[in-house]
Amino acid sequence: MPSGYREAKQGIYRGFLIFLLCSRIELSISPEWSLVMNETRRSELLMPAGSLEKLKAAILYGADAVYMGTPDLSLRVKSQMTLEDVVEGITYAHNRGKKVYLTLNLFSHNKDIDKLPAYVETVRSVKPDGLIVADPGVFSMVKSAAPELELHISTQANVCSWQSVKFWEGLGAKLCVLAREVSFEELKEIREKCPNIKLETFIHGSMCMTYSGRCLLSNFLSERGANQGACANSCRWKYKVHMKIKDGTLKELHLSEENMELFEFFLEEECRPGELMPIEEDDRGSYILNSKDLNLMPRLDKLLAIGVDSLKVEGRGKSIYYAALTARAYRMAIDDWYNDPKSFDPMFYMAELNTIPNRGYTLAFHDGRLTNYGHSYEMNWNFASYEYAAIIKTVESEAFIIEVKNKLVAGDVLEFVSPTRRDIMLLRIYEFIDAASGRTNEVVQPSEKPVIRLPFSLFDHETLDELINDFPAQTIIRKEKALTDEQWNQIKLDFEAGKLELGDGQEKHYLDKRENLITALEDNQNTRAPKTRRFGLEGCCGKGCNGCLMFWHEPKYAKARALLARKKPGVMLERNMREDLIEG
């Protein structure tokens, strides 16, 4: 088909679509139409910014927009943003062509009302791209006092239907953040019936056991209001079941089908020994819910295809490591889908997300029902097989100056995660040079807040231009983390649960892995091991890292070196090839 004919046809499609939108005609979006729509309705990646440093990291690693707020009125009492930080953050983002949305999404009590006029006046002066609100009273007040501000409806408003979206649109809202409980089929219908308002949906982050922060468990146990941004995460605490014998003594009880009907039951939270809460037990058992983390990467292509305007990641209280690497994974995935939607494969990006501490991943309500695979009943740990090793503080003419975040030992392999290139730069390091004194050490402890110097001479794969341009200040450095047997079994169980959620697993494999985890928990072994072989100073892991004297000089790695030489710079050997390529 001649290219001119294709361009003319696409032009007709675009013109007809614009006519429909301008005429406010509702239409059902087919896959073909959705691709045309996305040429004018491209989804943005919206990242959390709990501090100025996290804002900069998120933008560096690919966020199109960030959301943030001060602690008093933004539902995050632990937010590290001052008003001065907000002003600086907006300036920083706008100078780089990025957007900033400010949060004012509390449900106000009387004590909050007097603060609002001064807050809104300050917000007007810094010119954010949107103000996120939930309370109808706050909405009305801001609309009257600052009509030029674009108002976004927070997830706190629990918008779950197209009728609710139209209600807020009629009041003047420009965007609605849909509740996490909205399924994809519901989202698709909302998109079809509400084409003239922007829609935002969560794609990643922590899940609440109730509608978007409405849980009262935290209020009762900690006097910390979830709906005021101070949730104590009581649903994730560790509880024990106790039985009460007729003589009044209490015993810890291992429940079975044979004994469940014989006793009264009580809960004891681990930090409150002796404070017993009576519970009732039905035939399904009683659980304080510990949801896994939301991760819609496996369904990202569907969200992009229907033209969701903003894809939101939760986590203003999480680390710079989280902000940067989550943004990086979704940035790559979104760009790849737009470049070639038919070839989209989420597995590469999922592997990247698995390097970020999590509680296991779930699709949650995306497919409709929330299954038991969306919860973790055995553990509530937040971990991964990688950890935040360091961050590049500054780039000098001949060296990186890095700030250490976790313990480093001679022989560790550092992974430099570039914000601009896809492959990971590896460095096997044998000593650490203190940036201030020049002294060398074989171990660095993070408690001392050390800053070390990494000369460019240590890197024998990359050119000077690549080092300076591809790894700027704020580049994240990670390394593999040794985990316990319990943790490795939890990761395997979570992986199998994820396959079942996607319709690509076997219940038997899931049950086997769950039994392995229970056995590991009972054994309570504290021995830790990394994912891949890490021999430190005694041997080589076979990756061909920068500066690995064993790999680059010992005869037994000759075959591996020859293969690596034929690969383009920065591409490492695949794990399943290393064993076959090592002679000796």
424: pLDDT strictly greater than 70: yes
313 Cβ contact list (under 8 Å, min separation 6): 45, 46, 47, 48, 202, 203, 204, 205, 326, 327, 330
266-301 tens-digit pLDDT: 667 666 677 776 655 443 334 456 789 999 999 999
Q: Which residues of 273-300 are buried (b: 16+ CB within 10 A; e: fewer)?
A: eeebeeeeeeeeeeebbbbbbbbbbbbb
| Distance separating alpha carbons of residues 124 and 121, to the nearest angstrom | 5
> Do residues 121 and 144 lie in contact, with contact meaning Cβ atoms separated by under 8 Å?
no
In tens, the pLDDT along 75-131 reads 444 556 777 888 899 999 999 999 999 998 888 889 888 888 888 888 888 899 999
Q: What is the largest CA-CA distance in the chain?
A: 90
Lowest mean pLDDT among 176-180, 235-239, 417-421, 469-473: 235-239
Residue 367: pLDDT band by 50, 70, 90 thresholds?
very high
CA atoms within 13 A on the CB side of 481: 20
Cα dihedral sign for 424, 429, 432, 436? negative
24 or 364: which carries more pLDDT confidence?
A: 364
Q: How far apart (Å, rounded) are the C-alpha atoms in residues 578 and 341?
A: 33
Please give the pLDDT value at position 481. Answer: 93
> Is the pLDDT confidence value at 220 over 90?
no
Window from 118-122, 329-333, 449-453, 565-569 with minimum mean pLDDT: 565-569
pLDDT tier at 63, thresholds 50, 70, 90: very high
pLDDT of 30 reads 42
What average pLDDT does the segment 425-439 reach?
95
Could you give the CA distance from residue 310 to residue 313 in angstroms, rounded to a whole number? 10
Comparing 18 with 257, the larger pLDDT belongs to 257
254, pLDDT greater than 70: no
For residue 562, the 8-state DSSP code is H
- Please state, in angstroms and rounded to a whole number, the distance separating the CA atoms of residues 39 and 554: 54
Which is higher by pLDDT, 382 or 471? 471
Residues above pLDDT 70, as percent of the chain = 74
pLDDT on residue 577: 53
Which is more confident, 70 or 364?
Answer: 364
Angle, helices 320-339 vs 52-60, to 10°: value is 30
Residue 404: Cβ-neighbour burial (10 angstroms; 0-12, 13-18, 19+): buried
Average the pLDDT over 206-210 and give the result. 79
Query: pLDDT at position 115, please?
Result: 83
Tell me which residue has tokens 């004297």: 549
Q: Is the pLDDT of residue 24 over 50?
A: no
3-state secondary structure of 414: strand
Residue 214 confidence (pLDDT) above 70: no
| pLDDT at residue 228, rounded to an integer | 58
Average pLDDT of the chain, as a whole number: 83
Residue with the larger pLDDT of the pair 71 and 370: 370
Distance CA 217, CA 293 (A): 19
> Measuring CA to CA, which residue among 422, 303, 295, 425 is closest to residue 350?
295
- Amino acid, single-letter form, for residue 417: V
258 falls in which pLDDT band (50, 70, 90)? low
Answer positive or negative: Cα dihedral of 213, 217, 219, 221: negative
Instruction: Say yes or no to pLDDT of 58 above 90.
Output: yes
The predicted pLDDT at position 360 comes to: 93
Instruction: Identify the H or E element spanning 320.
Output: helix 320-339
**Between residues 266 and 199, the one the model is more confident about:** 199
Beta carbons of 368 and 458 less than 8 angstroms apart: no
How far is the C-alpha of 495 from the C-alpha of 504, rounded, in Å? 11
Closest to 33 in 3D by CA, of 3, 57, 51, 12: 12
Which of 215-224, 258-267, 546-555 has maximum average pLDDT?
Answer: 546-555
Query: What average pLDDT score do residues 375-403 get?
Result: 91
Give yes or no for a contact between 183 and 159, defined as CB atoms under 8 angstroms apart.
no
pLDDT score recorded for residue 75:
47
Q: Which pLDDT belongs to residue 21? A: 39
Comparing 189-198, 363-372, 569-578, which segment has the lowest mean pLDDT?
Answer: 569-578
pLDDT band for 26, please (50, 70, 90 cuts): very low
The β-bridge partners of 584 are: none
Give which of 445, 456, 474 is closest to 92, Cα–Cα: 474
pLDDT-based confidence at residue 71 (cuts at 50, 70, 90) = low
- E-assigned strand segments in 298-365: 310-313, 361-362
Residue 92: which H helix or E strand, with range? helix 83-95
> What is the per-residue pLDDT for 553?
85
CA dihedral 171, 172, 178, 182 (to 10 degrees): 50
The whole-model pTM stands at 0.83
Q: Which residue has the tokens 């894809």?
A: 311
Which burial class, exposed, middle or buried, applies to 464 when counting CB atoms under 10 A from its CB (0-12, 13-18, 19+)? exposed
What is d(CA 263, CA 281) in angstroms, rounded to the nearest whole number? 10
Q: Tell me the per-residue pLDDT of 493-503, one tens digit each, with 9 for 90 and over.
A: 999 999 999 99
